[in-house]
Amino acid sequence: MADTPSNAPHFQPDGRPVDEQLGELRVKIDAVDQQLLALLNQRAQLAQAVGEVKKLDGSPVFRPDREAQVIDRVKNANPGPVRNDSIAPIWRELMSACRALEGRQRVAFLGPIGTFSEQAALNYFGSSIDAVVCPSIDEVFRATSAQSADFGVVPIENSTEGVVARSLDLLLQSPLSIVGETSLMVTHNLLRKDLGREGIEVVAAHPQALAQCQGWLSQHLPQAERRAVSSNAEGARMAAQDPRIAALASERAASQYGLHVVQPAVQDEAHNRTRFVIVRPQAVATPAAPTGHDCISLVVSVDNRPGAVHDLLVPLKRHGVSMSRFESRPARSGQWEYVFFIDLAGHPVQDNVAAALDELRAQCSFFKVLGSYPLDVH
């Protein structure tokens, strides 16, 4: 059988050349793109009109509960073939662009550029924000409390290493409320200025990242110093200046600082996730409306007596309220006292949740609601 010439046209079953069919389909796609652009600008004009109405009563530009409801509705109406897990990021970016017409949100996060905290901020707010890059988690809280940022994004727990203790301590002390959350798959890559692992003397990363990769580091770089720095992106910045230093950071950080990915995905747990919370001053935080998948975060303490911690759980069981997190932290009083961070499923407007909260409050020597907000289910 003779070979087909390389320049011969390819045919589909209907007999037309593939190039002709592709050309026709691309013309149709271009026409749909024009329709999408027109609809996008129509939506933006409506968003501007909403912004003008909001100004009349001082309503906030950004409502996490409202945006969660919009995404839920769009996903429920989605006929496919676009997958539902692709709908949320598309609509978040769309809403971010429209929201920016009312006013760009100033969002504080742990820097420098290239951290997972930055990625969490972009995932939650979209890219149409003004970044407030902070050198530490403490500074994220300070900037947000002082309202030099509208919102702050801070890590609160990791699926491998557990809670981020500093974030919990600052939530206890600060005047900020949790207004939202987002969860990020965290992949730590070994980054370096040179190719290969030979000559690496230091691995620089945030303490959490070093802990999440300790098994791999012990096996493959046992002689290298593990140097804790303020963020993974700071480690990447250092690695860009010194070939003896490697970093544990994201591919985004590798691109940002011109580094090679010497070894991808070196975290000890394949499904390594970090949960971030979105914080805002209580004085300007707007109560979230129920969405059907909500969370209430509390911090409480009880008198040191037998059965006190057990008694905290009784109102929850009695009223059928599910608890998804229970963490203890030292109260820093010097008296060996502890506070308990609790996450409950539900919203304060639900009768059973309200009843459980009232009973719980009556049992506690200290009771603080850190926030009521939509869960990240997208």
Whole-angstrom Cα distance, residue 326 to residue 303? 17
DSSP characters for 125-172? H-S-EEEEEESSHHHHHHHHHTTSSSEEEEEEEETTTEE-HHHHHHHH
Collapse the DSSP code of 328 into the 3-class scheme (helix H, G, I; strand E, B; otherwise coil) and give the result: strand
Say which residues have a Cβ less than 8 Å from residue 313's Cβ, sequence separation at least 6: 323
Q: Are 303 and 337 in contact (CB under 8 A)?
A: no
- Residues identified as active-site: 274, 276
Phi, psi of 283 (to 5 degrees): -65, -25
Whole-angstrom Cα distance, residue 180 to residue 163? 17
Whole-angstrom Cα distance, residue 336 to residue 170? 19
Q: Are 117 and 167 in contact (CB under 8 A)?
A: no
Say which residues have a Cβ less than 8 Å from residue 187's Cβ, sequence separation at least 6: 250, 251, 264, 265, 267, 272
End-to-end C-alpha distance for the chain, whole angstroms: 54
Whole-angstrom Cα distance, residue 7 to residue 17? 12
DSSP characters for 224-290? SEEEE-S-HHHHHHHHHH-TTEEEEE-HHHHHHHT-EEEES---SSTT-EEEEEEEEETTTPPPPPP
Say which residue the tokens 């935080």 belong to.
Answer: 285
Q: What tokens were used for 23?
A: 């050309």
Q: Are 247 and 205 in contact (CB under 8 A)?
A: yes
Whole-angstrom Cα distance, residue 272 to residue 183? 10
